[in-house]
Each structure stands twice: as structure tokens, then as C-alpha cells.
Amino acid sequence: MLRFLATFLLASMAFIILGNVVFAQTKQNTVVVLPKDEVIDTNYFAAGDTVTLSGTVNGDAYLAGGVVNIEGTVNGDLMVAGGVVYIRGTVTQDVRVAGGQVIITGTIERNLTVLGGTATIADSGRVGSSVVGAGGSIQIYSAIPKDVTIGAGELTIGNTVGGNVFAAVGVFTMSPSANIEGNLTYMSEEPLNIQKGATVSGTIKEEKSLQAQKDQFQDKAKAAAKAGKSIMYTAKVINIITAFLVGLLFIFLFPKYTATITKQISEKTWTSMGVGLLTLILTPLIAILFLVTIVGMPVGFLLIVAYVFCIFFAKIFVSLVVGNKLISMVSREKYHHAVVLGLGLLVYLIVSSIPVLGSVMVLLTVIMGIGAMLLAKIEYYRLLADKKMI
């Protein structure tokens, strides 16, 4: 029963999510290229260490990799995740991008949503509508015709913004060529750095009321938090114990499959995270599409169940990798799988309990684990196909 459930969950996600796209296979040290003269008349999915889209996609494009280059044309939406992402070509619809470093020098004809360690919209780039972003450092040197909403450690605006700007930032700089035609609303612990020549046509408002509301709310929340803290920790411990028992079942019932997943996490971390991010976002959307139809409703419910189980399983495989890494740092001896898993889950419990950082690490664990499970399942089916067993 457990073998059937694990296979069903991962297979469902792979085939339902990727059923209507062109899929570029991922292998060890993969370089995936859509050539300049090639045209794809449907949705396109590609994942690898390096992914380059130089051709034309007459649909939506979903890309993930260590380095992702978009040099061609996407006549639909673009969703991309990677270590370094270059958008040099043209996207006629919306763009949603997440990466360690994001550089935009091409054309986005509608909205841009960006999440990155650093993100730069160069002066040669073009965004046709609004920008929403979050990251460590965001620089906007291209004219933005509509609103800009940013949450970042550092924000620099160096061109015209046709709408309003809302910024919750550490440091906010407007260069001499900056011009905000609407209103500027900001939250920052540092004073605005509006350089000589920069202008704001509308009003400038520092939003302090949120801090006052926060102080009031915190007093009330502390009492509730104190009462709920013990319940929360008890639930976390029960969750970890359950994960430990389920993890042992995976190790002893599916040793090769478990080893394949942990190998994906260790050796193809960025690819696993890219695929996991896309899966985490797309699966609920696809489930909703099935649920709104009478015929597809059972599939929608099954997909939701698969989604929840995979989120739970993710921390098991990531914890195995973490446990192995920690043990290898202090000893060359081989330890029982139960010890490795227990150590990894203990670290996960501790880190996940840290405010803010814990939530980020839980999210990264889920993304990495789901991506690795999906890649392992794809590799498994590819192997069966090569042997003509399916």
C-alpha cells in the first residue's frame, strides 16, 4: 500500500503538471538549448544546469536551472527560477522570475514580478506595465509606465515611474535621473536618499502608522502566543516523530529510490529547487482547474492529496542529506540510517523554530525536496522507457 501511494503521488504530479507542455529532459550537467530558428507552438518546459531559450515559444515558458538565458521570444507568460537569470529577449505577456541574480535587458510587454538576491532592470530593458519585487538589492534603471511595489534591503530608482511607488526598504535611493509621476509611500529605518535632480510629482508619505499598529497588536499577541507556544512545539515534535517513522519506511522499503532523491538534492541542488518552485506554484492552480469541472473533480482532489503528502515527505529527504553532511564533517565512520535521519530531523526542528529564518528554511526545504522527488520519478520512468518496460 505504501509503495503504491508513493508512486501514485509523484507520478500524478509529474504527468498532470507536465502533460500539456514540451518537456526538455534533465540529466547530470545538462545544457538545454532551444535554438534560434526553432519554433514551439505550445507551452514549453525546460530544466537543467544551463538553460538557453533562443528560439520562439508561442505559449507559456517554464524554465529552471543554475543559469537561465532568455534570448528569444515568448509569446505568452514566462515563469523562471535559477541561480542566475538573464532576460535579454522579448516576453509578450507577464514575467514571474526568482533567482539569486536577475538581470533584465530585454522587453517585457506586461507586468514583472521578481524575487531575487539582486535584481537589475537595466536602462536598455523595457517593462510595459507594473513591477512588483522583493529581494536583497533591486535596481530599476528603465522607465516603468505604471506602479512599482518593492520590499527589499536596498532599492535604487534611476528612471521615470509613471504611477505610484510603494517601498518597504532598508535603504531607498533616487538617482538624479529618477522621476516619480505619482505618489511615493515608503517605510524605512533610514532617511530617503533623493539625489539632486530627482523629482516626485505627487506626495511623499512615510508610513509610520503600521509600526504603531504593530506595537498595539504585539501586546495582545504576546498573551495568545504564550498560551499557544506549548501547543505549537508539541505539534512540531509529533510532526518530526511521524516524519522519522515514515522516513524509516522509505529507507527500508525503497532504498534505491531514496538514494536517488538524496543524490538529486546533493548534486543538483539548483535544478531541484527550480523544479520544486514551479511544482509548488503550479500544482494548486491545476488542481483548481480540475475541481471546477464535474468530470475532473476526483482528479483535483487526488492532486491536492498528492500535493500535501509530497510537502510532508520533502523534509525527510532533505534531512537525510543534512544528517549525512554533518556526520561526514566529524567522522568517516558509517552510521545507521536511523541515526542519520534522526540527526537531520533534529536540525530541521531546531532551525525551523527560529523566527523568520525558520520559515524561510522550511520553504526552501519543501521546494528542494519536492523538486528532487519529481526529478527522481522522471529519471525512474526514463529508465523504464529505455528498457522498454513501459
**Domain shared by 121 and 194, yes or no:** yes
**Domain shared by 141 and 105, yes or no:** yes
The order of strands in the sheet holding 107-108 is: 39-40, 56-57, 73-74, 90-91, 107-108, 126-127
Domain-ending residue, one of 154, 173, 208: 208
Domain-ending residue, one of 208, 223, 252: 208
**Domain shared by 192 and 220, yes or no:** no
Print the domain residue range for 112: 2-208
**Domain shared by 158 and 242, yes or no:** no
Length of the chain equals: 390
Domain-ending residue, one of 208, 223, 248: 208
390 pLDDT above the threshold of 70: no
What's residue 222's pLDDT? 65
**Domain shared by 92 and 149, yes or no:** yes
What's residue 89's pLDDT? 96
**Domain shared by 233 and 201, yes or no:** no
319 pLDDT above the threshold of 50: yes
Work out the mean pLDDT of the chain and round it to a whole number. 82
195 pLDDT above the threshold of 80: yes
**Domain shared by 295 and 237, yes or no:** yes
Phi-psi region of 29 (alpha: psi -120 to 50; beta: other; left: phi over 0): left
Confidence of residue 84 (pLDDT cuts 50, 70, 90): very high
What's residue 6's pLDDT? 37
**Domain shared by 49 and 104, yes or no:** yes
Q: How many Å apart are CA 82 and CA 47, to the nearest integer?
A: 9
**Domain shared by 19 and 120, yes or no:** yes
- Residue 125: strand, helix, or coil: coil
Regarding pTM above 0.95, the answer is no
Q: Which helix (H) or strand (E) holds 170?
A: strand 165-174
Averaged over 274-303, what is the pLDDT? 82
What's residue 10's pLDDT? 37
Helix segments in the chain, DSSP class H: 2-17, 209-253, 255-267, 269-291, 297-330, 337-352, 357-386
**Domain shared by 259 and 282, yes or no:** yes
Domain count, the chain: 2
What's residue 232's pLDDT? 64
What's residue 21's pLDDT? 40
Q: How many Å apart are CA 376 and CA 373, to the nearest integer?
A: 5
**Domain shared by 120 and 179, yes or no:** yes
**Domain shared by 56 and 168, yes or no:** yes
Nearest to 211 by CA among 241, 240, 187, 235: 187
**Residue whose C-alpha cell is 522621476:** 179
